[in-house]
């Protein structure tokens, strides 16, 4: 495979995604403000250039994975940004999690310049990024969605076309709001069991086979020692950070205000994660909310 890909944003998610493209045989030029991340990509077969926009000018595909809406808008819309630098026909894929309205704004600017652009946020965490089993929620034209398949299929297992531009971000906002709510509810339930003398492993096993089963309980258990592969059993290191969950819940609240939609549980979850972050847990995995909800408990 000879497609020339520029991948901008080599964080906890972006780096393994880019590495999977390299493993698939694509020529990948990686760029990030953190040199160590770029070095890791180069060590595993990727490459880089001193001038990221010079690399973009030669690319067939540009993929971005950035922290927030403002970063995406700045990178794409700036006078020396991606839209100003890319050659005609370059496919643009933004995998960041940003506001749906920001995705639509950038996509409209891309379309005005003749580019096909997709908003393609992901779900599946760092383990999914490493394994190439991410879920992609994609917004954009059918033509762009089809053109992106050779690349998305090397990074993900489930790839869904959600609709027009902004639709992928809408699905991601809804999904992560529900994820934040479920993590809090799961943590509360396990804490209640512990307070009554239950073994959290036994409790989790039974609930995972009952009507309260959910992804956070079965795959990403927040109680230390219940699931060896979960961040909870690794000091809540790695995974999906509290501050990232807080950002996504903030996007949900902003979107709810813009669309006049009631999200009382989403708003409550956002407030709890805000308190957790202000207490110094911003860099820990979001499942560490388990600790905030049970300081007097027997675990954590």
Helix 167-195 vs helix 100-112: angle between axes, to the nearest 10 degrees? 160
Q: Which of 40, 172, 247, 283 is catalytic?
A: 172
Instruction: Tell which residue, 76, 121, 79, 74, has the closest CA to residue 96.
Output: 121
8 A C-beta contact, residue 230 and residue 220: yes
8 A C-beta contact, residue 290 and residue 223: yes
118 forms beta bridges with: 93
92 forms beta bridges with: 62, 117
Helix 264-276 vs helix 167-195: angle between axes, to the nearest 10 degrees? 70
Buried b (16+ CB within 10 A) or exposed e, 191-217: bebbeeeeebeebbeebeeeeeebebb
Tell me whether residue 172 is one of the annotated catalytic residues. Answer: yes
What distances in angstroms separate CA 65 from CA 12, 28, 217, 267, one per listed residue?
Answer: 10, 14, 28, 26
8 A C-beta contact, residue 272 and residue 184: yes
Task: Provide the H-helix boundaries in 86-232.
Answer: 100-112, 125-131, 142-155, 167-195, 200-208, 215-218
Annotated catalytic residues are 172
């Amino acid at each position: 495979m000879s497609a020339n890909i520029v991948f901008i944003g080599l964080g906890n998610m972006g780096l393994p995604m880019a590495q999977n493209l390299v493993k698939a045989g694509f020529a990948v030029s990686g760029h990030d403000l953190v040199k160590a991340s770029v070095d890791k990509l180069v060590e595993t077969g990727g490459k880089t250039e001193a001038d990221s926009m010079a690399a973009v000018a030669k690319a067939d595909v540009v993929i971005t994975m950035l922290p927030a809406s403002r970063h995406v808008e700045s990178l794409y819309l700036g006078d020396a940004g991606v839209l100003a630098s890319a050659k005609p026909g370059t496919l643009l894929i933004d995998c960041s999690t940003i506001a749906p309205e920001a995705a639509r704004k950038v996509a409209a600017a891309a379309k005005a310049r003749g580019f096909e652009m997709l908003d393609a946020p992901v779900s599946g965490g760092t383990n999914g990024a490493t394994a190439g089993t991410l879920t992609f929620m994609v917004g954009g034209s059918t033509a762009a969605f089809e053109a992106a398949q050779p690349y998305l299929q090397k990074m993900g297992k489930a790839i869904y076309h959600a609709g027009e531009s902004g639709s992928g971000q809408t699905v991601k906002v809804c999904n992560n709001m529900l994820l934040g709510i479920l993590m809090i509810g799961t943590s509360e339930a396990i804490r209640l069991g512990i307070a009554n003398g239950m073994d959290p492993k036994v409790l989790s096993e039974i609930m995972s086979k009952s009507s309260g089963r959910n992804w956070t309980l079965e795959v990403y258990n927040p109680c230390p020692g219940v699931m060896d592969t979960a961040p909870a059993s690794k000091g809540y290191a790695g995974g999906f950070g509290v501050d990232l969950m807080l950002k996504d819940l903030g996007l949900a609240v902003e979107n709810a205000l813009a669309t006049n939609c009631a999200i009382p549980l989403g708003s409550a979850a956002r407030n709890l994660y805000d308190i957790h972050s202000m207490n110094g847990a911003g860099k820990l995995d979001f499942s560490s909310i388990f600790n905030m909800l049970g300081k007097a408990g027997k675990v954590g």
